[in-house]
Amino acid sequence: MFARAVTIVVPTFRRPEPLLRALRSCQRQVGLAFADFEVVVVDNSPDGSAQPTVVAAQAAEPGLMLRWIHEPVAGISAARNKGVASAQGQHIAFLDDDEEAEPGWLAALVEAQRVSSADAVFGAVKGRFEGPQRDDAALFEAEMTRDFPEAAGPVPVWRVASLGSGNSLFVRSCFDTAEPFLPSLGLSGGEDSALIRRLIAKGRRLQWCPAARVVEYFGEDRLTMRFLLKRRFSAGQVRTSVCVMSEHPNRREAAMWMALGAVQAALGSALAVVTCVVKPDLSKRFLCVASGGLGKILWMPPFRVNRYPDRKKPGP
């Protein structure tokens, strides 16, 4: 018997203000009573720096069960695994610490799971630049956005590779191992892609729920082509590497991704050069395509990009 219907797991690392915004959005949820869900904040900083933020959020809304848990082992996989192990809910939802959930977010995820009996439900993510208005922000906002045009229903097979754990809900039985998120991917990312891949291999069903919406905020530190190209390169690496690092490796699929990557790298680079003078914004998009393609080819450990390098650094 579970103490709650849902546990919202919020992994965090030295983002006090965004974390507080994320927690306040959990406190504003409608359609579910506070007795139906809890929020577990997993602090992945070595010094446990998020505890004061959680204490302040709890004081502002004592009716919601809000727990702070420290996971000093570096890596997003360790944080997610600690959240799953600590959850008291029958279902486990994930909200990133830079995301803000709309008031009906959690209720929409729960209802989608109830109606469809799916094993995992994924909602829409809207990227939003948090700063002064800039003409080039739209390109970066689109990169942070996950909002498929399909109506609510089973996730189409061609959308699976774009899924992630930010804004998601899983039935507890999806986490049938001690470490459902692979520790080996804790710093490079892709731990959620590997989990989703394992679920599909086991015949689990995935549901798309566009009514469950969150906003993902980002600042000027991400408003650079360097960041965008690195993000695309890393995402490309994940596409191929999870085919090889999964419980049931599929080297044929990995070869397919590498072949697609070669086409994307060559064609994207050529089109970026052709359009760089006439349409600079379009040229940047083609560069992103090329970077993602290159990542699909160079997925091996010597080329691996760590998305979470700061988690190995000591605190300030």
CATH class label, 4-222 = alpha beta
> Which burial class, exposed, middle or buried, applies to 315 when counting CB atoms under 10 A from its CB (0-12, 13-18, 19+)?
exposed
Strand partners, 100: 215
Q: Supply the pLDDT for residue 309.
A: 65
pLDDT by residue, tens only, the chain of 316 residues = 677 899 999 999 999 999 999 999 999 999 999 999 999 999 999 999 999 999 999 999 999 999 999 999 999 999 999 999 999 999 999 999 999 999 999 999 999 999 999 999 999 999 999 988 888 888 899 989 999 999 999 999 999 989 999 999 999 999 999 999 999 888 888 899 999 999 999 999 999 999 999 999 999 888 899 999 999 999 999 999 988 877 778 899 999 999 999 999 999 999 999 999 899 889 999 999 999 999 999 999 889 888 776 665 545 4
Parallel/antiparallel/unpaired status of strands 120-129 and 206-218: parallel
* 202 Cβ contact partners less than 8 Å away, ≥ 6 residues apart: none
What pLDDT is attached to residue 107?
A: 98
Q: Are 114 and 40 in contact (CB under 8 A)?
A: no
State which amino acid sits at residue 276. Answer: C
Q: Which amino acid is at 6?
A: V
DSSP string, the chain: --SEEEEEEEEESS-HHHHHHHHHHHHT--SS-GGGEEEEEEE-STT-TTHHHHHHHHHH-TTSEEEEEE--SSSHHHHHHHHHHH--EEEEEE--TTEEE-TTHHHHHHHHHHHH--SEEEEEEEEEE-SS--TTHHHHHHHT-B--SSPSEEPPGGGGGG--SSSEEEEGGG--SS-SS-GGGTTT--HHHHHHHHHHHTT--EEEEEEEEEEEEE-GGG-SHHHHHHHHHHHHHHHHHHHHHSSS--HHHHHHHHHHHHHHHHHHHHHHHHHTTT-HHHHHHHHHHHHHHHHHHS-SGGGPPPS-GGGGSPP-
- Residue 121 is encoded by which pair of tokens? 């439900």
Ordered by start, the domain boundaries in the chain are 4-222, 225-312
Residue 96 CA to residue 199 CA, distance in Å, equals: 21
The DSSP string of 184-222 is GGTTT--HHHHHHHHHHHTT--EEEEEEEEEEEEE-GGG
Q: Chain centroid to CA 71: how far?
A: 19
Please list the residues that pair with 9 across neighbouring strands: 40, 94
> Which pLDDT does position 53 carry in this prediction?
97
